[in-house]
Amino acid sequence: MNAAVSFIDGKSPAGSQLDNLNQWVTEAAALTQPDHIHWCDGSDPEYAALVQQMQADGTLLPLNPDTHPDSWLHRSSPSDVARVEHLTFVCTPERDAAGPNNHWMSPADGHAQMDALFAGCMRGRTLYVVPYCMGPIDSPLARCGVEITDSPYVVANMRIMTRMGAAALARIEREGSFVKGLHSIGELDPERRFIMHFPEELTIKSFGSGYGGNALLGKKCHALRIASHQARREGWLAEHMLIVGIENPQGEVHYIAAAFPSACGKTNLAMLIPPQSYREAGWKVWTVGDDICWMRPGADGRLYAINPEAGFFGVAPGTSEKSNPNALASIQHGTIFTNVAVTDDNQPWWEGLDKRVPAKDWQGRDYDPANGPAAHPNSRFTVSAKQCPSYSPRAEDPQGVPISAIVFGGRRASLVPLVFEARDWTHGVLVGASMGSETTAAATGAVGVMRRDPMAMKPFCGYNFADYFAHWLSFDQPGAKLPKVFHVNWFRKGEDGQFLWPGFGENLRVLEWMIERVQGRAEAIEAPIGLLPKPGHFNLQGVGMTAETLADLFKVDPDAWRDEFDEISEYLRSYGPAMPDELCAEAQRTLAALS
């Protein structure tokens, strides 16, 4: 191999703690055979050079500099536009460790299959070494990784999404441990595309895709699949959750972690704009994170959370001045857009943004409605979280923020009421474990099919769900001051097919009830499925909702719920004898209460 090598400060990173890193990079280069090796330092000049290079080769297209300065459009291969769950594997020595919730392959077979794909794949390309930190650089809960990739697009996105570069490398040198991620876009051939995770080796191998969830290895691969394994071993939680701070008129801030499947409103809730009457009263919303949450017990018994990410990789379609003005404000400059359409004056555009007609669709073709949506339904924006107007001053707090409530939610057109509270922690774990939602465009496959998605972690839990639920249950220890657990459903529809709840900023009314429950100020009524808001203790002033609509929103149909819990019990049993007995017993208690 003849590879010209350039290192930070012009030399190979030194120090015995980096011997493993240097050796791994050497081995990866010998396997992939790049023409050049570049160690990323995360600097502004490096980013500018990457952008210039990608503009020259057409990987990034400049957008209107007057309306969207320093912003770019990337068009990916039409066959490479979403996560590929069916090609994503967890490689553990024993199949049961991965569980039926994961596709399994033995580590030996996984490495052999991937190394055959990687052999010589970077000839004519540059191998980029990307050291990164997931979480505030000085946080004890943060964890580091290194991604090797041949995609400058991935490098640019990782710089936005993580704390990438020299500071991360320095932490790796101090700690001597990191998650290894080897990635190549290969030929972008769907038949030669796999993502393999080796949790016990803290290793990820991804080949054949340039799409974010498959290629930005710090994101879903590390921050959820590998981190969930780390979290179980080390006594914390790595979750597919937003983190939002709700400040009431008294100046008290309560932080809420909420789990929703992709494209079901996480970013909207994380950046929520309070209704005008709430703003006038002094309510504020603070965004800590929109997608991933790492939580650990603090000395006071509460759970404390950090957002391991530094940016947003948000779904563009549906983002508008009405749905999410904070997100829209965030992406007016310094943003990488992927697979959106453009207007005739070269501004990014997607369905739901406004009433303009785009000039070019996401594939660069002249826009023709016969070709489908102008922007791909899973088109994205990558932007620094610090550009969000509601960015929390606590977002970089090394100790994290204390969590008052955990919220689970899915997209259900019927059955599930607007909000209910779990009776206790065990019931709350059951509520999360039995979550169901209609599928969206964030993953390949059919859209609109109801599937179980426990804690919104079905595509992301790096080990057996039965062991994962047991890990959740293990936090209920003497002295623990665990958050209250709630479930929400913004998407319930009436008989006319229209949504019963207005959603968006009005969702703050639901969060207000949760906070008042945490504070012991709001009352609830017991139902077989949990605790519902007591009439008069849920602020609907100004919503203009009829009594009939309100009744539909909170209706609990015992017959339909019995069917649901028959399915839930069967679903839990499908994980075999490792399923915690207390979770199955909790499901039976609810089923009995419905009889």
Question: Mean per-residue pLDDT for 178-191?
Answer: 97
Percent of all residues in the chain with a pLDDT value above 70, rounded to a whole number: 95
How many residues are recorded in the chain?
A: 595
Q: Is the pLDDT of residue 14 over 80?
A: no
Residue 10 has pLDDT above 70, yes or no: no
Pull the structure tokens for residue 344.
């005739």
Mean pLDDT check: name the lowest of 13-22, 418-427, 464-473: 13-22
Average pLDDT score over the chain: 94
Query: Measured in Å, how far apart are the chain's first and last C-alpha atoms?
Result: 71
- Rounded CA-CA distance 242/430 in Å is 20
CB neighbour list of residue 458: distance below 8 Å, 6 or more residues apart: 101, 451, 452
121 is catalytic: no
Global pTM value: 0.95
Range of weakest confidence among 12-21, 116-125, 281-290, 441-450: 441-450
pLDDT band at 16 (very low <50, low <70, confident <90, very high): low
Mean pLDDT of 21-25: 96
Nearest to 549 by CA among 496, 506, 487, 512: 496
- Rounded to whole angstroms, how far apart are CA atoms 519 and 501? 25
Catalytic residue among 121, 264, 388, 461: 264
pLDDT digits (tens, 9 = 90+) for 409-430: 999 999 999 999 999 999 999 9
- State residue 1's pLDDT score: 39
Domains along the sequence of the chain with CATH = 4-59+84-235 (3.40.449.10), 238-309+397-594 (3.90.228.20)
Q: CA 290 → CA 166, 209, 490, 542, distances in Å?
A: 26, 24, 17, 28
Element of type H or E holding 183: strand 179-184
The beta-strand segments (E) located in 434-512 are 436-438, 450-452, 484-488
Say if residues 315 and 385 touch (Cβ distance below 8 Å): no
The DSSP secondary-structure symbol of 577 reads: G
62-80 b/e with 16+ CB inside 10 Å = b?
ebeeeebeebbbbbbeeeb
At residue 6, does pLDDT exceed 80? no
The model's pLDDT over 302-324, given as tens digits with 9 standing for 90+, comes to 999 999 999 999 999 999 998 89
Give percent above pLDDT 90 in the chain. 91
State residue 445's pLDDT score: 63
Work out the number of other CB atoms within 10 angstroms of the CB of residue 9.
10
What confidence category does residue 5 fall into, taking pLDDT thresholds of 50, 70 and 90? very low
Contacts (Cβ under 8 Å, ≥6 apart) of 538: 509, 513, 522
Question: Per-residue pLDDT tens for 332-365?
Answer: 999 999 999 999 999 999 999 999 999 999 999 9
Q: What is the mean pLDDT of residues 167-174?
A: 96
> Is the predicted pLDDT of residue 536 greater than 50, yes or no?
yes
Query: What string of DSSP letters covers 501-550?
Result: S--GGGHHHHHHHHHHHHHT-S-EEEETTEEEEPTTSS--TTT---HHHH
What are the pLDDT digits (tens) for 520-529?
Answer: 999 999 999 9
